[in-house]
């Protein structure tokens, strides 16, 4: 017979879920209205009870261990189902307006195709969706939830990490015809390059390419040339059209790689140090409607944003 989980472990699991959402003990404490030290103590007690580490404590942020990721995948849907059931029993059907702001490419490619599921789960919630570039700052009072790509630091707001972004070059297979094989970064000199000039908040026009090349030890390759666009989605469409080699985001390029519209000439992807985050004003999740949309987006991200197998 399976032993029952002690009640204090259930309490610690709720702390773990908050810390895993934010990848920050401080932000988890703010959400739960306890101190950072209390969060740390609860996590340590849970790790001692389980017999393994749940987080890697890095210099500037946390990462889930493999065991932590498996625990999150197991308990997050269970607690979400409990929260949803309790919310329905207490308040009936949730209804009203939730204001959502998102980066245009993430909204069009990733979020909108999934929105019918949200409509089925919460048919009386009405989203007011606004697509805004990262060049526009986040201002309190303008949104209930915002999806942003940044380093996860949002003074004056709280945030939940959705996914750590990775990048890698892509191009149309036709682009490589009648050109030298694109088997090393040095061969990029023979190819046109494409840029998303507003890749993330505060980035300079060549940021994605230069970050990628620096990470793989090829900073000497000149990529300060070529067509520039202010949308990742448009940049990728230009690559599909055979206009050049672009930098793809793992989160947003799955379909094009699986279909063969794009290939990845270099198999290596590199982290950007940027994260897609859900940003919201302090106290916003006290509104059950906002909390319901927040939790749905988080559930979708954790279920869908798996590593992409790139095709060469």
Whether residue 107 sits in one domain with residue 67: no
**pLDDT reported for residue 95:** 80
Whether residue 107 sits in one domain with residue 197: yes
Instruction: Please tell me what DSSP assigns to residue 45.
Output: H
**Coil, helix or strand for 79?**
helix
Per-residue pLDDT of the chain (312 residues; tens, 9 = 90+): 456 788 889 889 999 998 998 888 988 888 888 999 999 999 999 999 999 999 998 877 789 999 999 999 888 888 877 776 666 665 456 788 999 999 888 999 899 999 999 998 888 899 999 988 755 667 767 899 999 988 878 888 899 999 888 999 999 999 988 899 998 999 999 999 999 988 887 788 899 999 999 999 999 999 999 999 988 889 999 999 999 999 999 888 888 988 899 999 987 889 988 889 999 998 899 999 999 999 999 988 887 654 433 333
Residue where one domain finishes, among candidates 86, 112, 131 = 86
User: Which CATH number goes with the domain that contains 14?
Assistant: 1.10.10.10
Tell me whether residue 23 is in a domain.
yes
Residue where one domain finishes, among candidates 24, 54, 86 = 86
Whether residue 63 sits in one domain with residue 130: no
Tell me whether residue 2 is in a domain.
no
User: Which CATH number goes with the domain that contains 154?
Assistant: 3.40.190.290
**pLDDT reported for residue 147:** 93
Question: Are the C-beta atoms of residues 210 and 193 closer than 8 Å to each other?
Answer: no
Q: What is the dihedral of CA 83, 89, 92, 97, to 10 degrees?
A: -20
**pLDDT reported for residue 308:** 38
What's the structural domain count of the chain? 2
Domain span holding position 181: 95-312
Whether residue 275 sits in one domain with residue 232: yes
**pLDDT reported for residue 27:** 84
Whether residue 272 sits in one domain with residue 236: yes
Question: Are the C-beta atoms of residues 106 and 276 closer than 8 Å to each other?
Answer: yes
């Amino acid at each position: 017979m399976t032993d029952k989980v002690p009640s204090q472990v259930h309490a610690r699991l709720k702390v773990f879920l908050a810390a895993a959402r934010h990848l920050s003990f401080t932000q988890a404490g703010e959400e739960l209205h306890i101190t950072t030290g209390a969060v740390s103590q609860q996590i340590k007690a849970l790790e001692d009870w389980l017999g393994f580490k749940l987080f890697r404590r890095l210099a500037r942020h946390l990462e889930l261990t493999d065991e932590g990721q498996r625990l999150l995948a197991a308990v997050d849907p269970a607690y979400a189902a409990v929260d949803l059931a309790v919310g329905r029993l207490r308040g009936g059907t949730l209804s009203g307006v939730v204001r959502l702001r998102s980066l245009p490419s993430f909204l069009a490619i990733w979020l909108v195709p999934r929105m019918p599921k949200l409509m089925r789960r919460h048919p009386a919630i009405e989203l007011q969706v606004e697509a805004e570039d990262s060049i526009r700052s986040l201002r309190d009072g303008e949104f209930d939830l915002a999806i942003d790509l940044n380093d996860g630091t949002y003074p004056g707001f709280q945030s939940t990490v959705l996914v750590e972004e990775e990048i890698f070059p892509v191009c149309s297979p036709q682009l490589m015809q009648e050109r030298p094989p694109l088997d090393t970064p040095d061969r990029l000199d023979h190819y046109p390059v494409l840029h998303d000039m507003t890749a993330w908040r505060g980035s300079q026009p060549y940021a994605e390419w230069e970050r990628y090349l620096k990470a793989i030890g090829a900073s000497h390759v000149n990529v300060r040339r070529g067509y520039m666009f202010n949308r990742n989605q448009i940049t990728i469409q230009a690559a599909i059209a055979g206009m050049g080699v672009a930098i793809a985001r793992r989160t947003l390029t799955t379909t094009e790689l699986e279909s063969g519209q794009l290939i990845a000439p270099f198999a290596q992807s590199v982290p950007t140090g940027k994260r897609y985050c859900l940003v919201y004003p302090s106290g916003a999740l006290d509104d059950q409607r906002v909390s319901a949309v927040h939790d749905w987006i988080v559930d979708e991200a954790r279920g869908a944003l798996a590593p992409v197998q790139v095709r060469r």
